[in-house]
Amino acid sequence: MSNPPRNLIGLSLLLIISAFLVVLFYRGLAEPDEGRYAEIAEDMINSGNWLEMRLLMHRYYEKPPLTYWLVATAFHAFGLRDWAARAPLLINGVLLTGLCWFLARRQWEKNAANIATLTMLSMVGFLASMALLMTDPFLALWFALVCIALFRGCQPGVYAQKRFLLFSVAAIAVAMGFLTKGAVAIVLPLVIIFLWLLWERRLAVLRSLAVPWAILLGIGLLTPIMLLLEKHNPGFFHYFATEHFSRFNGTRPTQIHKEPFVFFAEVIPLLLLPWTLFLVRAAWRLIAQRGWRQDTLSRFLLVWVVVVVLFFSSSSGKLMSYILPAIPALGLLLGRWGLSDPQDSRSDRILWNIGAAGLFLSALVIAGIWLFSYFRIRPLTIYPISGRSVFALIPITVMSVVLLARRGQRSFGGLLSLNAGIMLTAALMLSPLAGKDFNALLHHNSAQVYKELATKLKSEDQVVVFWDYRPALGFYTQGEYIAFQVADELLYGRQLEPERAKEIQDKAQLEKLLQEASGKVFAVVDPHDLEQKFRPLGLATVPTTIPSDPNTLVLELQPPLSQY
């Protein structure tokens, strides 16, 4: 395939980067994940103690602390702002993209490497995951660095000094990955490299002295840090290990995210959008051209994807984000075999057209979502969008016109331009331009309500959250709220330090709180719970001037009448 036109690629890259920046910085924190990680980092900044892990003042041992440290560093640099919480993700995404391009460029010819990297970069799974504040995007970076360093270090003819250097880089990345999400950063890359070397029939390379050196280096880096963490977070290591093992094998008392074995087979096509239908061409060419036999990088990437997907498919608990470490490898494979090769036969051109149809279909779906939202066709599923959001359709419209005018559907550059328009339009529809943060599809962002509530709160005021878990509320108000009948992930922390627990289980305790309050008491309620659960409590309330949204209503609670 000829090189895509540089001006078209440049424009497409500009739009893709713009989409990434919009989703990164032009919205509030989504519940519960983004609120959780921002709130823990905020506690570290406010307390000055970066070694204790606390969420809403309670000990929180679900994850190691590296993600919190990165976010806290951003807060230290830019202040306690929601956009600052995602600043580390920008660096993370750039580094991961650079690593993948380096890997592809070392093994494939320039045009194939560029197209493979651009394909990966412009997938929904890559852009969305790199812009969501969770541990998984950071794990994906360290995971990729381990795999790439080991892959390069195990190449035939590598000098001993270079192998020691690359294995040292892998050991450091393993330590960083472990401090991000635990043992998966160690176990899975080692399984990948072992199976790939077994396939290559070169297991003898593991006899190198660089292997025990890397093991000792990794242990040497992790041991003092883990001992320090255990000292400041008593019981952390035992809880963390037990919790994650029980989640995997399904022995956790309250199992969460339980999904069938085939869950990720259903998820992967969504993560590859809008390039999904090019999977057919990629698989056909990979098999027909025996790419998996001739190309060592393709073999390595195949092992990488299969190991990650099978491992997490075997877990009892599953979330879409769990397989993010496989997305870079999958994206590179898709781009290399699905999009970079020329269309050299009639059947191949048919497969290309099938893939291209997927992009046009994605564009139609995006436009359809806007129409459904604006005309309130399914308001409970797709929340109403503001009229000014019509400007969000400009990128997808302009790039569609450009594509059709240049008849670019037969070229990667043309399809990338349409994809760029799709990405930017989708990003703008998930931003405040739509009227509410993450309005059109994701219903877990009440940042604007929280910010307004924070301006009303005085030091003596209190906030009671009814039946919901809202860590982002704690971040925006920079204080701990009182939970009413909430079963959340803070149970272990409350049990460790019951004197810190701020929770209410019944109406009598709530009325006592209202009677003893020295300031105002605000109630945060999901409007869906208002009639069936909140009104039957018989509480006296006063409306507030704080605007509501489809997930959050703020009322002022009054003391019971018997007090007067």
At 277-297, the pLDDT tens digits run 999 999 999 988 877 888 999
Tens of pLDDT, residues 204-221: 999 999 999 999 999 999
Single-letter residue type at 468: D
Q: Do 510 and 504 contact (CB within 8 A), yes or no? A: yes
pLDDT given at position 387: 80
CA terminus-to-terminus distance, the chain: 82
When pLDDT is cut at 50, 70 and 90, the band that residue 2 belongs to is very low
What is the tens place of the pLDDT at every residue in 526-544?
Answer: 998 999 999 999 999 999 9
pLDDT value at residue 562: 55
Q: Where along the chain do its domains lie?
A: 92-326, 447-563
The model's confidence at residue 564, banded by pLDDT at 50, 70 and 90, is very low
- Cα separation, 218 vs 168, whole angstroms: 8
Q: What is the residue whose two structure tokens read 């509501």? A: 548
Q: What is the mean pLDDT of residues 173-199?
A: 96
Q: What is the reported pLDDT for 3?
A: 55
Question: What average pLDDT does the segment 539-552 reach?
Answer: 90
How far apart, in whole angstroms, are the C-alpha atoms of residue 159 and residue 98?
24
Phi, psi of 71 (to 5 degrees): -70, -40
- Tokens representing residue 174 in the block: 């393993």
- For the entire predicted model, the pTM comes to 0.93
Strands of the sheet with 541-543, listed across from one edge: 503-504, 482-484, 462-466, 521-525, 553-557, 541-543
| Token output for 293 | 């036999």
Of the listed ranges 149-153, 230-234, 267-271, 364-368, the one predicted with least confidence: 364-368
Alpha-carbon torsion 340, 343, 345, 348, what sign?
A: positive
> Which amino acid makes up residue 420?
A
**Element of type H or E holding 248:** helix 236-249
Least confident of 96-105, 170-179, 378-387: 378-387
User: Looking at residue 380, what is its pLDDT?
Assistant: 64
SS3 sequence of 476-520: HHCCCCEEECCCCCCHHHHHHCHHHCCEECCHHHHHHHHHHCCCC
State the residue for tokens 């983004």.
Answer: 34
Cβ-contact 163, 210 below 8 angstroms: yes
Asked whether 37 and 68 are in contact (CB, 8 A), the reply is yes
Q: Residue 190 has what pLDDT?
A: 96
pLDDT for res 440: 47
pLDDT by residue (tens digit) across 405-460?
A: 877 788 899 999 999 999 999 998 888 777 665 454 445 688 889 999 999 999 99
What is the DSSP code (8-state) at residue 414? H
Residue with tokens 């072992």: 194
Cβ proximity of 278 and 159 under 8 Å: no
3-state helix, strand, coil in the chain (%, to 5): 65, 5, 30
Residue 216's pLDDT is 97
Phi, psi of 560 (to 5 degrees): -60, 150
pLDDT at position 551, please? 85
In angstroms, the CA 534 to CA 557 distance is 12
Measure the CA–CA gap between 94 and 102, rounded to whole angstroms: 12
Q: Where are the beta strands (DSSP E) in 23-112?
A: 54-55, 58-59
Q: Lowest mean pLDDT of 64-78, 423-437, 460-474, name the range.
A: 423-437
* Residue 198 CB-density burial (10 A; 0-12 exposed, 13-18 middle, 19+ buried): exposed
Average confidence score pLDDT of the chain: 91
CB 194, CB 310: distance < 8 Å: no
**Dihedral over alpha carbons 119, 125, 130, 135 (to 10 degrees):** -140
Other CB atoms within 10 A of residue 6 CB: 9
Rounded Cα gap, residues 44 and 46, in angstroms: 6
Strands 462-466 and 482-484: parallel
The H or E element containing residue 556 is strand 553-557
pLDDT of residue 439: 52
* Residue 421: CA count within 13 A, CB half-sphere: 25
Provide the pLDDT for residue 249. 77
Under a CB-based contact definition with an 8 Å cutoff, are residues 488 and 507 in contact?
no
- Give the mean pLDDT of 307-328: 92
